[in-house]
Amino acid sequence: MRYISTRDPKRTPQKFSDILLEGLAPDGGLFLPEEYPTITGEDLDRWRKTLADGGYPALAAEVLQLFIDDIPADDLADLTHRAYSYPKFSEQEIVTVTHLEDDIYKGGLSYGPTAAFKDMAMQLLGELFEYELKRRGQVLNILGATSGDTGSSAEYAMRGRDGISVFMLTPRGRMTAFQQAQMFSIDDPNVINMAVDGVFDDCQDIVKAVSSDLQFKRTWSIGAVNSINWARLVAQVVYYIYIWLRMTDGVAPAEQYDTKLSFAVPTGNFGDVCAGHVARSMGLPIDRLIVVTNENDVLNEFFSTGVYRVRSAAQTLATSSPSMDISKASNFERFIADLLGRDAERVADLFGRQLNEQGYFDLSDDPAFERIVSDYGFMSGSSTHQDRLDTIRHTWEDDGVMIDPHTADGVKVARELKANNEVDTPIVCLETALPVKFSETIEEATGEQPEIPERFQGIEDLPRRVLDVPNDAEHVKQVIVENSS
Ligand SMILES: *Cc1c(COP(=O)(O)O)cnc(C)c1O
C-alpha cells in the first residue's frame, strides 16, 4: 500500500511510515492511499470470528494491516492491543452499540481517557508515533493549539512516551472547567500546557509562526497531531466495521452481507465521516452517510447546494456543540479528490487556488455533484441549540439515555430523516463525547446533572500544571527550547 497527495499529478508514491509523522503533503495536499483495499463478504465473516475471539484490538490489527504494510503484523497487533485496552477505556468492549428507539441506535465511541471519540484515533497514533520514532532513532516535539477536545486527547495519548514531548497552547480562561481540569492535571514532565493571554486564533497564530520558522522547526523536531493525519483517519475506519459486525450479529448468516446500515455523524473537520466514506468505498455495506452540522453549516450547505464556502473567524459562531464550530473542514479535500476521480490538478485548483482567491468553489453544475448521493450515499442535515436541548431531553425521558450535545445533533437529524421516510435502513448515530464534558447544556435540557464517570471524580480538585505565557511566539519558542525531548 502506497500513499499519494491529493494535489500531486505525478502521484509520487510514499510508504505509510513516511507519511505517518507528516501533516500536509509538501504540495499542500492531503495523503490518500493510491487505491482503497476492498472488503469481501468472506473478509467480514472472518473478522466476525476475529472479533469474537480477540475483541476490538484484534479486529483493528486485521483492518489496519490492509493499510500498513511496513510495520510487521505482530508489532501492529501489539500496538492495537496497547492502544485499545481496558481499563484505559472504561468499557471492556471499547466500543458499544445501544438501541435508542425504533430503527435508531447509538454507537458509543467515547469511553477513552478523555471521554471523547478523538481518543479512538489518538490512542493508536500515540503508539504508532512512539514505535516509528524509536525505529528511526528520532525525537518529536509536538506543538498544538486547542480550545477543547483535541488537545487533551493528544496529551493523554502522548504522555509518558519515550522521545515525545507535547506543547499545547490554550486560550487562557476560555475552556470549560472540566476541560481545563482534564488537561492541566496531567502530571507528566513531557506534557507542557501553556495558557496564552489571548483567544484561540492567537494560539493558532503562534503555532503557525513557530512552524514556519523552518530552521527552528528542524532544529527542535517540531511536529503536529492535527486532524488531517492519515493515521488518525484510518484508525477510525475500524469502528465502522466493528459497529456493522455488531449490528449484524443477529442476522442469518446468508443475509448478513446484504444488510446495510446508515450512520449519522456529527461533523467538524470531516474526519469521522471521511473514515465512514473510506469504509464504504472499501465495500462495507453502508447505505447512507449522514453529515450533521450545527449552526456552523459549511458542510450542510455544500451537500445541499454544491457550493463550498469557507467562513471567516468572525462568521464562525460559538455554539453548545463547540467541537463542531469550524470555519472550514480540513479533511474535506480527501472526499472531493475521490469524487473528482483523483484529478490532482482540479483538486489543487479548487482547494489551492479558488478557496484562497475567492473563498468558495461551486460544483453545483458539475456532473459529479449528483454522484455524491447516487454513488457515495451522502446526505446532510443541521441542528440548532434548541434542537439539541429538545433532543437531549427527549432521548433522556423517552429512551432513558443521556447524550451529549454533539451526539444530539446527530440524533436530531436521524429522527427527522426517519420521520420523513428518507432513510429505510437502521441509522447508527455516532456518540462523539460523553455528557459529563458538557454538563451545563445537559442541565439546561434535562434539569439534571450528568453522571460523572468514576475516573473523572475529583479531577477538578487536583493540582494544576500550566504556564501562563504572553501572546508571543518568541516566548513560546523559549519554553520549547528549555523543555524539549
Ligand atoms: C472533534 C469532534 C467532532 C467532529 O469530528 P470531525 O472528525 O472533526 O468531523 C464532533 N464531536 C466532538 C465531541 C468532537 O470532539
pLDDT score for 204: 87
Give 170's DSSP letter.
Answer: E
- Answer whether 323 contacts ligand 1 (Cβ < 6 A): yes
Q: For the beta carbon of residue 44, count every other beta carbon within 10 angstroms.
A: 18
pLDDT score for 149: 81
Helices (H), 400-470: 405-419, 439-446
CA angle 262–79–283, rounded 5-degree value = 25
Q: Counting beta carbons within 10 angstroms of the beta carbon of residue 393, is it exposed (0 to 12), middle (13 to 18) or buried (19 or more)?
A: middle
pLDDT score for 430: 98
Q: Could you give the CA distance from residue 145 to residue 476 in angstroms, rounded to a whole number?
A: 12
Probe residue for ligand 1, chosen from 406, 431, 436 as the CB with the greatest number of ligand atoms within 8 Å: 406
Mean pLDDT of the chain: 95
The residue type found at 78 is: D
pLDDT score for 177: 84
pLDDT score for 335: 98
Map out the domains of the chain as residue ranges.
Answer: 96-114+233-446
- Answer whether 271 contacts ligand 1 (Cβ < 6 A): yes
The residue ranges of the chain whose pLDDT is under 50 are none
Q: Is 118 a catalytic residue?
A: yes
Are the CB atoms for 241 and 279 separated by under 8 Å?
yes
pLDDT score for 326: 86
pLDDT score for 175: 82
The CATH number of domain 96-114+233-446, selected from 1.10.420.10, 3.40.50.360, 3.30.9.10, 3.40.50.1100: 3.40.50.1100
- Answer whether 431 contacts ligand 1 (Cβ < 6 A): no
pLDDT score for 23: 79
Q: Could you give the CA distance from residue 404 to residue 394 in angstroms, rounded to a whole number?
A: 12
pLDDT score for 414: 98
Are the CB atoms for 127 and 82 separated by under 8 Å?
yes
pLDDT score for 54: 98
| C-alpha cell belonging to residue 384 | 440548532
Q: For the beta carbon of residue 90, count every other beta carbon within 10 angstroms.
A: 17
Give 450's DSSP letter.
Answer: P
Q: For the beta carbon of residue 311, count every other beta carbon within 10 angstroms.
A: 17
pLDDT score for 71: 98
Give 2's DSSP letter.
Answer: -
Are the CB atoms for 305 and 322 separated by under 8 Å?
no
User: SS3 breakdown of the chain: % helix, strand, coil, rounded to 5?
Assistant: 50, 15, 35
Q: Could you give the CA distance from residue 14 to residue 270 in angstroms, rounded to a whole number?
A: 24
